[in-house]
Amino acid sequence: GLLVTSLFLGLVNWLEKQGMMVLVPRQYLQSKELSGHKEFKKLSAWAGEDDQLGREVDLVVCLGGDGSLLRVSHMFQDSMPPVLGFGIGERNALYSQTWEEEVSKKMILRCLQEEQVMSVMLRARLLVTIMNPGEETVSVTALNEVTILRGLCPCLAKVKVMVDKTMLYQVEGDGVMVSTPTGSSAYSLSAGGPLVSPTIPCILLTPVACLSIHPSVIPATSTVVLTPSPSSRADSLPVDVDGRNIGQLMKNGQVVVTISSNPFPQVMDMDTSNFLWKMFKATK
């Protein structure tokens, strides 16, 4: 909306007045809503390779709801700079503070000028790898979850779940998801999974619409392998990461999930040990 656009452009202009180089996502350069706004001056974007961006940026400032942090995670598939987020959306379960202009601007400057030691929460991310026969391997990171669902197929999704080379169970239902503790407050929670503090190192397994299997919490060191059951009638099952479709799981293919070596470093203004209570209130 106009208020968010005005807030965004005002922050960009203010940071540049402070002598900071400000980069925005490339698609913002094509936005007529931004370029036609009265506060628009100029916008700059990273012109180099995507995998180099994380080494050049000192701080990411994120304004929005929980979905905005997911988009930030998607931008940085490898190493990430610290992320300072201010909630202005309807659901702010992942933020420790909301936007208050004077207070928030001072906090941004303190982070950039390193005037104060800030608390940083290292949110675990998943490394998701799709391997199908005869196809190129696809690897992406997930802040919340990876889901394998039956999609438009009228039959049940039948997916074998292996943990550290041991068969755990076979899901027969709408599908299965593998989540981080951060993702425990999102899709996993709505599917009946537990709410887990993002400070606890673990991986969540949550069946979707499957009466015979219950959610599980396994060690963060685990390797999860998802494969179609030989009795599956579906030729392929869609694989979604943080709400984005990234490919299909084909027959004789597999999806391998581990904890990524590149976490999501979020700057906090509160004791991270109390963050579970804030998540609980935001999801009610």
What CA–CA distance (Å, rounded) separates 254 from 146?
13
Tokens at residue 202, please? Answer: 């673990």
What CA–CA distance (Å, rounded) separates 261 from 95?
22
Phi/psi of residue 46, each to 5°?
A: -70, 130
Tokens at residue 204, please? Answer: 């969540």
Say if CB 256 and CB 129 are below 8 A apart.
Answer: yes
Say if CB 278 and CB 93 are below 8 A apart.
Answer: yes
What CA–CA distance (Å, rounded) separates 189 from 227?
23
> Other C-beta atoms within 10 Å of 218: how many?
16
Say if CB 181 and CB 204 are below 8 A apart.
Answer: yes
58, 66, 164, 240: which is the annotated catalytic residue? 66
58 is annotated as an active-site residue: no
Identity of residue 136: E
Phi/psi of residue 197, each to 5°?
A: -60, 135
Give ∠ CA 193-67-63 in degrees, rounded to 5.
135
Residue positions annotated with a catalytic role: 66
